[in-house]
């Protein structure tokens, strides 16, 4: 019988005065740094495999990696003398096979138990014992974690082992101490029980005492899989007799073994109450239980809170200190120092309804007044008489001049007030049109685009950096009609590159600032509301680490506000042609062609081919089949001016594995019904979806790993999505989620793709990578100087059509510093637990703490050792509750020594243009700023260009700008917690920006931790198995 975790907690609350005993297995000690029995088995298997085959540790080091496990298990199965995978005798068999000498086994367990520190789960268990809830702890573990936890919480414990079983008989019941009964011994002394013969017979005293002791107590099991037959027989006997309490078997997620299922079934058939409870692990479960059960005891609950919020490992934040040593490039910005008025008018008001609506309707069009609501007041600029006249009876108090003591980037309404005043001033001063907010345009400067009159405009904004206020100028346009606004924007901004951007901003600078850099608002008023704007922009010096020379320039020192560094392009890791060693190359296509995919050294243990199943309507089958067969041919680049793409050499030649294209008449080429189309979008969309899903189910039933190709003809495009006020549908997202739940990867191909002859080489390159990756192979990893860091990312999706659970939290996690193991975990957050700041969702302390615990669990599932450093990336800022919750949970782990919480967002307003220095004179360059450029802004923030100029693939001394439509936009990096250097954080982001296996571009603009977290969360809201399952990144691309 199963019991969900919330019902389990309620059961404990209502019966908290009953007596409870805990049975702890090896899974309880994982987060304390000790391997589980499952991990021990795989380490023993790996050691046997390595020593038998002379395989280097580097090739197959991570024994938790699923692919490495597959390779090892395939070899073991082929030997014919090892037990089947997940056999009940694996633990005892491999313990004896790997270390037949008992003293060697003792040393092995001594090694994995040494230096372990009790986790939050053990310490909270000690407090539960202190409160009287836990009466006894029985454990199959060899470690001293439970004893050490009791010591740390100042509670007496008594160890009872195989060597002193008399203590059980002679001990009187005592609520002031916790008996810890070690069923398998202690690694420090006495016999250990781990081989088959040792586990067969449970010590008779233990067996009898356990049955007698638990007959009037409830038993809660954590972290135990049931491998000890003698112990399981004891429990089976206990729960077949009259009397006895309930049995709660708390497992990790839904991972219950057959022997556990049989025990629970047997107990319930004997009229006992036995339940399986799926949890997120020992620590997470105990934390929530303690939080509920200790709340009535103020003293112990305060100890629990102090335990959770232990400051002993809190990290002292060290300011960024980027240290450029020379100058190679001068960058010119688009922002200018500005001083705002030192005061504003403030008054109380009696406006009914939405204050903003009133202001936008009545005040915004007035050129002589600017006003915004702040709290219950109106803050305004203008002449007092005019303000009083316009607001009239809505003014409740006299106008008072209020000094401005502070303005930050979060002072949104105050910034709006000043921008509105500036736009209104310049509109009158230079006869310009304005939206009275942040945009100005010249009605005499226009051109026609898509049949629309498009006016040249400038967009203003305010940026505050370390208390220095700047006004930014950015190219914009104004068009009266909203039709085709996106297409107009693409054409208008096309190729406003470095020098063109500079010319555009300089033109508007001359218009706005030509008369005076100081003025009062309103125009000609002498109001005392004075603005002062510097005419010259800010300049920044860059030290290019790829160049050794130091350049002399002619920019005055008073204009130079910031300095920065241009970092080297991170290398990718490939394999040599024979798989014998690592090869480094920054360019993904060149790495694949000149070397081989990263896994070449071990791919001879994998399938020799990649299979696919194709879903297509019959009239397009031949075209699609011809197109897919191009993947196995050579395709040259058809543009001689191409600066990035290289010739496609054929799938087998590039990836060292065969790609099987099914014949049209084979079972792997499946015909989809050619529907009669109509204007009923929703009905046709549902029928297309149902037909595709029906075929996918048939493919999944074959249990053969295949990439599913789904062909979408042009005539279906308008049926692939729809949205109304009640629901929305996207065929791509729906099918991706459907396949993910079935463990299948999919690839959509549209008819437009087949017809794109101009980009044929690029399309085939991109598609080839997709098939390789979706067969669960690894094309490349990122070179990283550190090996003890792991990464996680947070993304959100808001479900507008689900008011009860509108938020989907997407957590991405990369297990290693070089980007291995990108996977996602999805969970729902109810609206009442979300904190909304600036219309963005944020986690509460408890949810942030749970998030940190889930990260630890995910790392333990996939890494041999816990990382010493964890980096978390997020698109929104970290609130105090998020910082505290995440850090309290992560730093509680003894292995984690440092946590960096990094906010990463696009900087929309601050721009730079690049220059070149010739004979000491600085000239604006034709090319934009280089990728890898980093500018420190404050002690905890910086700009980083992940998008920008890179070397041409044809000639490394030539420049190439990927995409090249507009001036590159930097990322703004803010470190909210941690002490890692800006150099380390920036290089990691640059490296992770190259881990997008969904394309062969040199990079993505966002790191892999977050570039698709929001998109994954969007698709994830359609997934049913949320919270209990993690999904490989490949399912969603």
Query: Are residue 660 and residue 769 in the same domain, yes or no?
Result: yes
Residue 576 placed within a domain: no
Spatial contact of 967 and 909, defined as CB atoms under 8 Å apart: no
Question: In angstroms, how far is CA 606 from the centroid of its own chain?
Answer: 29
What b/e sequence results for 468-480 when a residue is b if at least 16 CB atoms lie within 10 Å of its CB, and e otherwise? ebbbbbbbbbbbe
**Residue 88, pLDDT score:** 78
* Contacts of 74 by beta carbon, 8 Å cutoff, 6+ apart: 605
Q: What percent of the chain has pLDDT over 70?
A: 88
What b/e sequence results for 352-386 when a residue is b if at least 16 CB atoms lie within 10 Å of its CB, and e otherwise? eeebeebbeebbbebbbbbbbbbeebbbbbbbeee
338-342, 556-560, 727-731, 909-913: range with lowest mean pLDDT: 727-731
Spatial contact of 140 and 56, defined as CB atoms under 8 Å apart: no
721, two tokens: 């999505």
Q: Average pLDDT, stretch 873-900?
A: 89
Query: Are residue 409 and residue 522 in the same domain, yes or no?
Result: yes
Secondary structure of residue 157 in the 3-state scheme:
strand
Question: Do strands 274-279 and 247-252 pair parallel, antiparallel, or not at all (unpaired)?
Answer: parallel
Query: Are residue 982 and residue 897 in the same domain, yes or no?
Result: yes
Q: How confident is the model at residue 194 (pLDDT cuts 50, 70, 90)?
A: low
* Contacts of 921 by beta carbon, 8 Å cutoff, 6+ apart: 553, 554
- Which of these, 264, 261, 267, lies nearest to 238 by C-alpha position? 267
Torsion angle, CA of 281/287/288/293, rounded to 10 degrees? 130
Q: How far is CA 637 from CA 755, 756, 828, in A?
A: 16, 14, 46
Q: pLDDT digit string (tens) for 631-678?
A: 999 999 887 667 788 999 999 999 989 999 999 999 999 999 888 888
Query: Are residue 23 and residue 39 in the same domain, yes or no?
Result: no
Residue 742 placed within a domain: yes
How many other C-beta atoms are found inside a 10 Å radius of the C-beta of residue 171? Answer: 13
**Residue 789, pLDDT score:** 86
229, two tokens: 């037959």
- Which of these, 746, 607, 654, lies nearest to 1032 by C-alpha position? 746
Query: Are residue 954 and residue 1024 in the same domain, yes or no?
Result: no
pLDDT for residue 1026 is more than 60: no
Query: Are residue 710 and residue 740 in the same domain, yes or no?
Result: yes
34-48, 51-65, 374-388, 534-548: range with lowest mean pLDDT: 51-65
28 cis-preceded (ω within 30 degrees of 0):
no
The segment with the largest mean pLDDT, out of 219-233, 577-591, 905-919, 1020-1034, is: 905-919
Domain boundary residue among 87, 115, 143? 115
Q: pLDDT digit string (tens) for 756-814?
A: 778 899 999 999 999 999 998 889 988 876 778 888 888 776 666 555 555 555 666 66
| Total count of domains within the chain | 6
With 0-12 / 13-18 / 19 or more C-beta atoms within 10 angstroms meaning exposed / middle / buried, residue 79 is exposed
Q: How confident is the model at residue 171 (pLDDT cuts 50, 70, 90)?
A: low
Query: Are residue 554 and residue 697 in the same domain, yes or no?
Result: no
219, two tokens: 């038993």
Secondary structure of residue 59 in the 3-state scheme:
coil
Give the residue with greater pLDDT, 440 vs 600.
Answer: 440
**Residue 812, pLDDT score:** 63
185-199, 200-214, 404-418, 946-960: range with lowest mean pLDDT: 185-199
pLDDT for residue 183 is more than 90: no
Give the residue with greater pLDDT, 697 vs 1029.
Answer: 697
Residue 584 placed within a domain: no
Long-range contacts at 112-115 (CB < 8 A, ≥ 24 apart): 112/34, 112/35, 112/40, 113/34, 113/142, 113/143, 113/144, 113/187, 115/33, 115/894
Long-range contacts at 394-399 (CB < 8 A, ≥ 24 apart): 394/349, 394/350, 394/351, 394/358, 395/347, 395/348, 395/349, 395/350, 396/347, 396/348, 396/349, 396/350, 397/347, 397/348, 398/347, 399/345, 399/346, 399/347
How many other C-beta atoms are found inside a 10 Å radius of the C-beta of residue 557? Answer: 7
Q: What percent of the chain has pLDDT over 90?
A: 49
**Residue 190, pLDDT score:** 43
Query: Are residue 190 and residue 80 in the same domain, yes or no?
Result: no
Spatial contact of 1004 and 1011, defined as CB atoms under 8 Å apart: yes
**For 370, which DSSP code?**
E
**Residue 978, pLDDT score:** 93
Residue 123 placed within a domain: yes
Return mean pLDDT, the chain.
Answer: 86
Domain boundary residue among 751, 774, 797? 774
Q: Average pLDDT, stretch 105-124?
A: 86
Q: Average pLDDT, stretch 949-970?
A: 84
pLDDT for residue 365 is more than 60: yes
pLDDT for residue 199 is more than 50: no
CA distance 731 to 25: 45
599, two tokens: 């896994």
Residue 587 placed within a domain: no
The segment with the largest mean pLDDT, out of 327-331, 581-585, 822-826, 1019-1023, is: 327-331
pLDDT for residue 859 is more than 90: no
Torsion angle, CA of 954/956/959/964, rounded to 10 degrees? 60
CA distance 1031 to 110: 35
The dihedral sign for the CA sequence 116, 120, 122, 127: positive
Domain carrying residue 963: 324-334+537-566+908-969
Query: Are residue 170 and residue 188 in the same domain, yes or no?
Result: yes
Residue 580 placed within a domain: no
Question: In angstroms, how far is CA 356 from the centroid of its own chain?
Answer: 36
Spatial contact of 811 and 628, defined as CB atoms under 8 Å apart: no
CA distance 73 to 89: 15
Query: Are residue 728 and residue 695 in the same domain, yes or no?
Result: yes
Domain boundary residue among 99, 115, 131? 115
Spatial contact of 967 and 914, defined as CB atoms under 8 Å apart: no
Q: How far is CA 227 from CA 90, 142, 184, 220, 616, in A?
A: 9, 15, 12, 17, 49
The dihedral sign for the CA sequence 289, 295, 299, 303: positive
**Tokens 């190359």, residue located:** 585
Query: Are residue 210 and residue 280 in the same domain, yes or no?
Result: yes
Residue 573 placed within a domain: no
Spatial contact of 832 and 840, defined as CB atoms under 8 Å apart: no
pLDDT for residue 201 is more than 60: no
Give the containing element (helix H, strand E) for 423. Answer: helix 412-429
Residue 598 placed within a domain: no
**Angle, to 10 degrees, between the axis of helix 258-269 and the axis of helix 229-238?**
20
CB half-sphere exposure, 747, CA atoms < 13 A: 23
Give the residue with greater pLDDT, 959 vs 653.
Answer: 653
DSSP H helical segments within 282-411, as ranges? 282-293, 298-308, 355-362, 384-391
**Residue 188, pLDDT score:** 41
**For 651, which DSSP code?**
H
**Tokens 């990463």, residue located:** 904
Q: pLDDT digit string (tens) for 812-854?
A: 666 566 666 666 666 666 556 667 776 677 888 888 888 888 7
CA distance 982 to 971: 13
Query: Are residue 797 and residue 821 in the same domain, yes or no?
Result: yes
């Amino acid at each position: 019988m199963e019991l969900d975790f919330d019902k389990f907690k309620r059961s404990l609350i209502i019966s908290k005065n009953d007596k409870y005993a805990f049975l702890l297995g090896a899974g309880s000690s994982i987060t304390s740094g000790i391997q589980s029995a499952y991990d021990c088995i795989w380490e023993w298997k790996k050691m046997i495999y390595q020593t038998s085959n002379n395989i280097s540790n580097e090739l197959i080091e991570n024994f938790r990696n699923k692919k490495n496990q597959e390779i090892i298990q395939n070899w073991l199965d082929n030997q014919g003398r090892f037990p089947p995978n997940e056999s009940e005798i694996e633990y005892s068999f491999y313990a004896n096979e790997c270390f037949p000498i008992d003293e060697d086994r003792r040393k092995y367990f001594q090694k994995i138990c040494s230096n372990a520190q009790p986790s939050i789960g053990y310490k909270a268990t000690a407090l539960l014992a202190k409160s009287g809830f836990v009466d006894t702890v029985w454990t199959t573990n060899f470690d001293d974690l439970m004893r050490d936890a009791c010591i740390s919480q100042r509670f007496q414990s008594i160890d009872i082992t195989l060597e002193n079983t008399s203590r059980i008989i002679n001990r009187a019941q005592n609520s002031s101490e916790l008996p810890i009964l070690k069923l398998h011994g202690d690694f420090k002394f006495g016999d250990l029980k781990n081989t088959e013969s040792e586990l067969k017979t449970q010590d008779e005293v233990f067996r009898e005492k356990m049955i007698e002791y638990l007959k009037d107590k409830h038993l809660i099991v954590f972290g135990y899989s049931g491998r000890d037959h003698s112990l399981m027989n004891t429990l089976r006997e206990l729960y077949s007799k009259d009397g006895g309490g309930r049995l709660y078997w708390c497992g990790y997620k839904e991972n219950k073994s057959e022997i556990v299922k049989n025990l629970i079934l047997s107990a319930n058939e004997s009229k006992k109450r036995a339940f399986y409870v799926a949890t997120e692990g020992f620590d997470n479960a105990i934390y929530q239980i303690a939080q509920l059960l200790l709340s009535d005891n103020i003293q112990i609950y305060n100890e629990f809170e102090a335990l959770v919020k232990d400051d002993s490992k809190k990290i002292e934040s060290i300011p960024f200190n980027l240290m450029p040593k020379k100058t190679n490039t001068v960058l010119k910005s688009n922002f200018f120092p500005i001083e705002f008025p030192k005061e504003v008018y403030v008054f109380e008001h009696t406006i009914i309804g939405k204050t903003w609506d009133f202001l936008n309707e009545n005040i915004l069009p007035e050129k002589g007044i600017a006003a915004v609501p702040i709290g219950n007041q109106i803050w305004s600029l203008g002449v007092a008489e005019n303000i009083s006249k316009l607001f009239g009876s809505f003014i409740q108090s006299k106008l008072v001049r209020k000094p401005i003591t502070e303005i930050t980037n979060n002072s949104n309404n105050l910034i709006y007030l000043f921008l509105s005043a500036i736009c209104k001033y310049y509109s009158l001063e230079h006869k310009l049109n304005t939206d009275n907010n942040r945009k100005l345009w010249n009605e005499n400067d226009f051109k026609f685009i898509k049949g629309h009159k498009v006016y040249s405009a400038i967009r203003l904004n305010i940026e505050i950096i370390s208390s220095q206020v700047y006004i930014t100028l950015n190219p914009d346009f104004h068009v009266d009609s909203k039709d085709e606004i996106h297409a107009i924007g693409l054409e208008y901004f096309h190729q406003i590159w470095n020098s063109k951007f500079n010319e555009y901003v300089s033109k508007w600078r001359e218009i706005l600032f030509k008369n005076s850099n100081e003025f009062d608002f309103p125009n000609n008023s002498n109001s005392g509301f004075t603005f002062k704007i510097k005419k010259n922009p800010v300049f920044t010096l860059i030290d290019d680490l790829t160049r050794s020379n130091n350049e002399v320039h002619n920019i005055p020192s008073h204009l130079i506000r910031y300095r920065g560094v241009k970092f080297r392009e991170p290398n990718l890791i490939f394999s040599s042609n024979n798989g014998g060693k690592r090869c480094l190359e920054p360019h993904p296509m060149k790495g694949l062609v000149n070397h081989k995919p990263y896994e070449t050294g071990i791919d001879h243990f994998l399938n020799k081919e990649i299979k696919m199943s194709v879903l297509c309507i019959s009239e397009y089958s031949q075209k699609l089949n011809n197109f897919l067969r191009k993947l196995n041919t050579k395709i040259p680049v058809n543009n001689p001016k191409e600066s990035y793409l290289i010739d496609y050499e054929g799938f087998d030649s590039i990836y060292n594995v065969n790609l099987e294209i099914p014949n049209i008449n084979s079972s792997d080429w499946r015909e989809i019904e050619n529907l009669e189309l109509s204007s009923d979008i929703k009905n046709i969309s549902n029928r297309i979806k149902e037909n595709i899903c029906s075929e996918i189910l048939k493919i999944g039933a074959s249990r053969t790993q295949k990439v599913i190709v789904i062909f979408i003809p042009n005539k279906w495009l308008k049926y692939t999505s729809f949205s109304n006020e009640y629901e929305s549908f996207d065929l791509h997202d729906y099918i991706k989620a459907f396949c993910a739940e079935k463990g299948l990867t999919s690839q959509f191909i549209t008819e437009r793709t087949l017809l794109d002859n101009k980009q044929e080489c690029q399309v085939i390159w991109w598609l080839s990578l997709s098939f390789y990756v979706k067969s669960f192979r690894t094309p490349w990893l990122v070179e990283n100087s550190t090996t003890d860091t792991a990464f996680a990312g947070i993304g959100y999706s808001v479900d507008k059509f689900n008011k009860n659970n509108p938020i989907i939290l997407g957590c991405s996690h990369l297990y290693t510093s070089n980007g291995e193991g990108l996977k996602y975990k999805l969970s729902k957050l109810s609206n009442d637990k979300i904190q909304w700041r600036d219309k963005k969702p944020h986690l509460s302390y408890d949810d942030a703490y749970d998030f940190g615990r889930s990260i630890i669990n995910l790392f333990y599932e996939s890494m041999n050792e816990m990382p010493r450093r964890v980096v978390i990336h997020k698109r929104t800022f970290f609130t105090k509750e998020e910082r505290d919750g995440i850090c309290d949970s992560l730093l509680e782990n003894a292995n984690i020594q440092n946590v960096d919480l990094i906010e990463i967002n696009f900087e929309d307003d601050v721009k730079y243009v690049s220059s070149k220095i010739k004979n000491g004179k600085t000239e604006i360059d034709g090319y934009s700023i280089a990728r890898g450029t980093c500018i420190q802004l404050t002690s905890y923030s910086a700009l980083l260009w992940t998008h920008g100029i890179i070397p041409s693939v044809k000639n490394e001394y030539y420049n190439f700008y990927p995409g090249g439509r507009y001036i590159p936009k930097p990322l703004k990096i803010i470190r909210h917690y941690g002490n890692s250097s800006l150099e380390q954080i920036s290089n990691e982001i640059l490296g992770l920006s190259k881990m997008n296996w969904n394309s062969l571009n040199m990079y993505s603009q966002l790191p892999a931790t977050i570039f698709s977290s929001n998109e994954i969360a969007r698709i994830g809201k359609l997934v049913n198995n949320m919270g209990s399952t993690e999904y490989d990144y490949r399912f969603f691309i």
